[in-house]
Structure 1
Amino acid sequence: MKVLVLGSGVIGVTTAWYLARAGHEVVVVDRQDGAGKETSFANAGQLSYGYSSPWAGPGVPVKAVKWLLMHHRPFVFWPRPDWEMLSWLSRMAANCTERAYRRNKGRMVRVAEYSRVALAALREETGIEFDHRARGTLQLFRTQKQLDHVGDDTAVLDEYGVPWELLDPTGCIAAEPALARVKDRFLGGLRLPQDETGDAFLFTQRLAELARGKGVEFHLGASIAGIRAEGGRVVAVETDHGDFTADAYVAALGSHTPAMLRPLGLHLPVYPIKGYSLTLPVTEEPAAPVSTVMDETYKIAITRLGDRIRVGGTAEIAGFSTSLRAPRRETLEHSVRDLFPDGGDIAAARFWTGLRPMTPDGTPIIGKTTLANLFTNTGHGTLGWTMACGSGRVLADIVSGREPEIDVSDLGMARYG
């Protein structure tokens, strides 16, 4: 079967890889001139399987107000007359209950854990390299209140058999020795030993090359104008490079997926949540992180990628704006300077922003649509890199008519009615 994948980010490329591996003829179309050049380009770098959690949770609306009042705030909101944004916010607020949080986190951990297994198998099969490290993730708590709420997450981790360790400051330093220099800045941490790190852009680029070796055809620099459907099926995708036709179509366009599918009568509650990152060279090895440290107060991830440190975070609701805002850089700099003051050269850091495709319940939208030959693989939010391999493998199974290895009954767009 010929399958057309729309999008060459980490989700689109992993989808193409698993489809080709299943024996399909695969074509990928993207407006960029290379794979992984938008949201996948400079994300935080962590493969946070156990840390996978929805933003919507009990108390989040109140926390959001407090975050807006912080000087180095993790959440930024730019009000605008945008019906899609208001609808998304309303749906997210409806998910801020204990019951919804547990349900949504369970879904996310299920996909993430499957992705961990899938990535391990992919590495074994191909030998792909992407500045990978398997040293766990440390969620660092600066306050007693943060420590007191650890049980909310560990209960779900226990349910899915995800190992975890609650550490005192000495244990945190054992996991991340450079923190000994700032031991007065934190009270403890939650370590997830199975979490990993890696460069998503490097992975996407190299997997695209491996996919080409399996016969996947990439049409890059081709802007998609629209999708044409007739009789309950997609019949063509229109681009400035001409029309593309296939037997099946996969929409993996991140935050741009809803606008592309809306003319077909498909309404996906996916909204762009803007994130920022800094990438700085390591200057002093013993003073740098060995894996990922999540600064819980500022919601910032500080990750080791080879000879670089990636600092990623901030949730900014600003539509499709990709402007680089100086205050966001200041927050990233503050966190890394506070925890790893001698680890990297902040003056030499590269500043970047990307749009994360977020659903109101945090769970990606993977599977069939109401059009017989159209499928989606989008809405992964901050966890596209974490969930990429599992999502791509599941989607390839669905397209192929095979039973996926995990439950996918609640991952499709049907859950939104």
Structure 2
Amino acid sequence: MKVAVLGSGVVGVTTAYYLAKAGHEVTVVDRQPGPALETSFANAGEISPGYASPWAAPGIPMKAIKWLMMRHAPLILRPAFDADTLGWLFAMLGNCTQARYAVNKARMVRVAEYSRERLIDLRAELGLDYDQRMQGTLQLFRTQAQMDGIGKDVEVLRGIGVPFEVLDKAGAIRAEPGLAKADDDFVGGLRLPLDETGDCFKFTGALTERARALGVDFQFENAIAAIEHDGRAVTGVRTARSLVTADRYVVALGSFSPKLVRSLGLRLPVYPVKGYSITAPIVDADRAPVSTLLDETYKVAITRLGDRIRVGGMAEISGYNNNLPLARRATLERSVGSLFPGAGDLKAASFWSGLRPMTPDSTPVIGGTPLPNLFLNTGHGTLGWTMACGSGQLMADLVSGREPAIRADDLSIARYGR
């Protein structure tokens, strides 16, 4: 069967790989000159199934007000007050209940844990090199109030069988020795020893070559104009070069997916929540992190990627833009500089922003649509790298008509109703 995958980020490429492995003839179409050049390019680098939690949670509205007042704010709100933005914000508020949180958390962990298993298998099968490390993630608490508030998280981790360690200050330093030189004080941390790190851009590039070896046709620098249909099914994808036709079509365009499917009558509630990162060369390895540290105060992840430090985070609600305000860079430098001073050359760091495709319930949209030959694999938010392999395998199974290894019926766009 011929399958067209729209988008060559980490989700699109993993989808293409698993579809090709299942025996399909696959074409990938993307406007960029190569894979993983948008949201997948310079993300935080963490693969953290244990931290797969909805943004919409009880207490978040009050916390959001506090965050907006901070000098180095983890949340920046500069929305365009259009129907899509307001609808998404209200839908997210509607998910800030204990009942909705429990449902959404269960869905996210299910996909994330399955994805961890698929990545382990893929790494063993292909021997990919992407600056990967398997040394866990440390969530660091600068205040006792933060430390005292982890009870519900620990309860959830225990309930789903995810190994964890609650560490005091000395234990946090044992896990991340560079913290011994920290300029700011902290009280302890929560460590997930099974979490991983890796360069999503390198991984996606390497997997692209393996997919090519399976016969996948990558049409880069080929902008997608529209999806054509006859009212019953998709008939083709109009691009800058030609009309791409297939038996099945998969939309994996991240934040740009809603714009493409709107003409089909689909209201896909995916919003471009902007994140930022800097990537600095390591100048003192002994002061650098050994894996990933999550700075709870600034909502920033600090990750070791080979001879570089990636610092990423924040959430800006400002629509479709990729500008780079220096105030956001200052927040990232503040976080890493206070915890790992002298580890990286921050003056030489590159500065980047990306648009995370976020749903109001934080769960990705994976599955079919009312058009029988159109599928969606998008809306992974901050966890595209964490969930990519599992999402790709799920999509390959669904397109192929096979029963997936995990439940997927509650992941499609149908959960949002008409």
Classify the TM-score, shorter chain.
Answer: over 0.9
TM-superposed CA distance for 1:106, in Å, is: 1.4
Structure-2 residue corresponding to 1:205: 205
Q: Is the contact between residue 226 and residue 238 of structure 2 (CA under 8 Å) also seen in structure 1?
A: yes
Question: Equivalent residues in 2 for 1:3-402 (5 A)?
Answer: 3-182=3-182, 185-402=185-402
Amino acid at match of 2:6: L
Amino acid at match of 1:336: V
SS of the aligned residue for 2:50 comes to coil
Quote the offset at 1:184 in angstroms. 5.7
**Which amino acid counterpart does residue 340 of structure 1 have in structure 2?**
F
Matched residues in 2 for 1:125 and 1:49: separation?
21
1:154 positional shift: 2.1
Q: Is the 8 A contact 2:44 2:310 kept in 1?
A: yes
| SS of alignment partner, residue 20 of structure 1 | helix
**Which one-letter code corresponds to 1:270 in the other structure?**
V
The unaligned stretches of length 5 or more in structure 2 are: none
What is the TM-score of this pair, normalised by structure 1? 0.99
Deviation at residue 197 of structure 1 after TM alignment: 0.2
1:303-352 Cα distance to aligned partner (Å, 9 max, x none): 00000000001100110011111110000000000000111000100000
Q: Could you tell me whether the CA contact under 8 Å between 1:169 and 1:187 is conserved in 2?
A: yes
Tell me the CA shift for residue 160 of structure 1: 2.0
8 Å Cα contact 2:183-2:341 kept in structure 1: no
C-alpha distance in structure 2 between counterparts of 1:149 and 1:260, whole Å: 41
Please say which of residues 180-189 and 13-22 is displaced more in the overlay. 180-189
Shift of 1:152: 1.7
Distance 1:316 1:283, change over 3 A: same
User: Does the 8 Å CA contact 1:106/1:156 hold for their aligned counterparts?
Assistant: no
How far apart are 1:283 and its partner, in Å?
A: 0.5
CA distance in 1, matches of 2:20, 2:12: 12
Cα separation, 2, equivalents of 1:114 and 1:73: 33
Report % sequence identity.
62
SS at match of 2:356: strand
**Cα displacement (A) at 1:210:** 0.5
Matched to 2:117, the amino acid is: V
CA contact (8 A) 1:105 1:156 kept: no
Q: Normalised by the size of structure 2, how large is the TM-score?
A: 0.99
Take 2:159 and 2:264, find their aligned partners in 1: how far apart are those partners? Answer: 39
Q: Residue 351 of structure 2 aligns to a residue in which SS?
A: strand
Deviations along 1:84-132, whole A, 9 cap, x unmatched?
0100000000111122112211111111110100000000100011000
Superimposed CA distance per residue, residues 11-48 of structure 1 (whole angstroms, 9 cap, x where no aligned partner): 00000000001110000000000000000000000001
Give the Cα separation in 1 of the matches to 2:160 and 2:371.
33
1: CA distance between counterparts of 2:292 and 2:380? 20
Gaps of 5+ in 1: none
1:155 Cα deviation from its structure 2 partner = 2.2
On the 8 A contact 2:135/2:290 being kept in 1, the answer is: yes
Task: Write the letter of the residue equivalent to 2:177.
Answer: P
Q: Distance in 1 between matches of 2:22 and 2:150?
A: 41
The residue matched to 1:212 in structure 2 has which SS? helix
Q: Which runs of 4+ in 1 moved over 3 A?
A: none
Kindly provide the CA deviation profile for residues 154-209 of structure 1, in whole angstroms up to 9, marking residues without a partner as x.
22222221111111111111110111122861111110011000000000111001
Quote the Cα distance in structure 1 between the aligned partners of 2:410 and 2:260: 23
Q: What does the per-residue CA deviation read over 1:277-321, in whole Å, with 9 as the maximum and x for residues that have no partner?
A: 000000101100000000000000000000000000110011001
| CA distance in structure 1 between the partners assigned to 2:360 and 2:79 by the alignment | 18
**Aligned-pair RMSD on alpha carbons?**
0.9
Contact 2:79 2:85 in 1 (8 A): no
Is the contact between residue 138 and residue 294 of structure 2 (CA under 8 Å) also seen in structure 1?
A: yes
Q: Distance in 2 between matches of 1:231 and 1:263?
A: 11
**Paired residue type of 2:167:** L
Q: State the match for 1:2 in structure 2.
A: 2
Decide whether the 8 Å contact of 2:46 with 2:303 is kept in 1. Answer: yes
TM-fit CA distance, 1:81: 2.5
What is the distance in 1 between the residues matched to 2:57 and 2:145?
A: 16
Amino acid at match of 1:182: A
Tell me how far 1:355 sits from its aligned partner. Answer: 0.3
Deviates more, 1:28-37 or 1:142-151: 142-151
CA distance in 1, matches of 2:65, 2:184: 28
Return the alpha-carbon distance in structure 1 between the equivalents of residues 100 and 339 of structure 2: 33
The verdict on how the C-alpha distance between 1:184 and 1:334 changes in structure 2, with shifts beyond 3 A counting, is closer
Match of 2:410 in 1: 410
Distance, in Å, in 2 between the alignment partners of 1:146 and 1:361 is 24
Q: Show CA shifts across 1:209-264 (max 9, x none).
A: 11000000000001111001114210100011110000000000000000100000
Alpha-carbon contact 1:53-1:105 (below 8 Å) kept: yes
User: Within 2, Cα distance between the matches of 1:225 and 1:398?
Assistant: 26
- Separation in 2 of the partners of 1:32 and 1:184? 41
